[in-house]
Amino acid sequence: MYESRKPIQAPGRRGAERVGWKAGCEGGQGNREMRAKLLIGILVGLLAAAAAVSWRVWSGLDGAVMTAHGYIALAAGVTLSLLVGGGLMALVFFSARKGYDDIDDPSQDDR
């Protein structure tokens, strides 16, 4: 049912074995799904809390009036931030796919 995995050896420590769910403990598919659902639930809860706090602070600024230029600047800032974030994530993705993030092994040098 489950393939047996050898424990992962901690880098730099001979004879020391890492212990944990990645190191070969049998958790099963149901346990992994439960952790994923729990993580998604926590993240959605944090997003909802951040949105509620933002809405409360935004609506609490009764005396502040934002002009059309303010809304344009806000939209431009959000758009540029999302573009920069997406571009950096694309660079990380393509860098990992091309192998630029792999660690070089000096013993396999062909020079």
How many whole angstroms separate alpha carbon 96 and alpha carbon 3? 27
Q: In the chain, what are the domain boundaries?
A: 17-62, 66-100
Tens digits of pLDDT across the chain (111 residues): 555 555 555 555 555 554 554 555 555 677 888 999 999 999 999 999 999 999 999 888 887 888 999 999 999 999 999 999 999 999 999 988 888 777 776 676 655
Contact 24, 5 (CB under 8 A): yes
What does pTM read for this prediction? 0.45
Contact 35, 25 (CB under 8 A): no
Contact 17, 8 (CB under 8 A): yes
